[in-house]
Amino acid sequence: MGDCIHCADARRTPHEIALLRGGPRAAVTVAVVALHLRGVLEAGPPGTVRASRPTEAGDAEHPLPPLPPVGVPLDPPATDGARPAGAVDTAYRALILESAVHGALDEPTGLGELVRHPEVRWAVAEVRVGLAEAGLLTYPLLRPTRAARRRVRALREQHPLPAVRRGLTPDDTLLAVALHGEQGLRVFVPRFALRAGLTARVRIGNKSMLRPSRSSGTYGGSGGFHYCGGGGGCGGGM
C-alpha cells in the first residue's frame, strides 16, 4: 500500500495528503490502514493494533523496505528506470513510514503510542521532507502552505465519501481515510477502526454510541492534485 512507483514527482501519496490535512496522527493512521489491507497488521486488545505477520508475508510485489540504521540517512531505492538514480521519491517515503509503523509493533500498541515512537517520528519527518521539497510546507515550522490547504480542500470536494463500499479498491480506502479521517474509517474499515482505537465510542445513558468525527481536517486545502495509491499505480488524478 502507499506505493506509486510510476507516478510523477508532483503527485502525492495518501500518507502525504493525510499529513497535510491532519498532521502526524492522520499520516500514521493511513499507514496503519495500509498495513491492515496488506494483511500484516490487525486489531489487538481493545484500542491497540499488533503485527499479524512479517511484512514479507504481505504484498510480495511491493515489499516494505528495511529502515536504515539509526543516524544513517535514508538511502534511495534501486532505480528501475522509472525515476532518476539516487532519487528518494514520495512513494518510497510512504513505504518507509509503513515499515516504521510495522517495526514498532513489538507488542500491541495504541495509535498515540505509535505516533510517539522514535522510528515512526523519524519516518513522518521523512514524509515531511518530500512535502517541503515540493513547496507544500512553510519554513521553518514546516506547516502546510495556503496552496497545500487549498489543494486538500479541492481533493475533499472532488472525492466525497461514497455511499457504498462495493467495487472500491484499497487505493480508494487509503484516499478516503487520508481526506476524511474518522468518517472515511467508518465507511471503509469500521470494525477494524473501532477495535483498533482509530475511532472511538461514547456512552450515552446505557447505550454505547460512536463519537461524532472530529477529523474533518486540521488543515484544509485548489489546484490540480493527484494522489498515488497502493499496488504500483496511480489513481484519482485531478
In this predicted model, which residue has the larger pLDDT, 235 or 96? 96
Percent of the chain with pLDDT over 70: 71
What are the strands, taking DSSP E only, across the chain? 41-43, 49-51, 201-204, 207-210, 227-228, 234-235
pLDDT of residue 80: 53
pLDDT of residue 140: 86
Cα–Cα distance measured from residue 19 to residue 129, given in angstroms and rounded to the nearest whole number: 12
Prediction pTM value: 0.78
User: Which three cell numbers mark 52?
Assistant: 499479524
Q: Name the β-bridge partners of 51.
A: 41
pLDDT of residue 87: 66
User: Which three cell numbers mark 46?
Assistant: 481493545
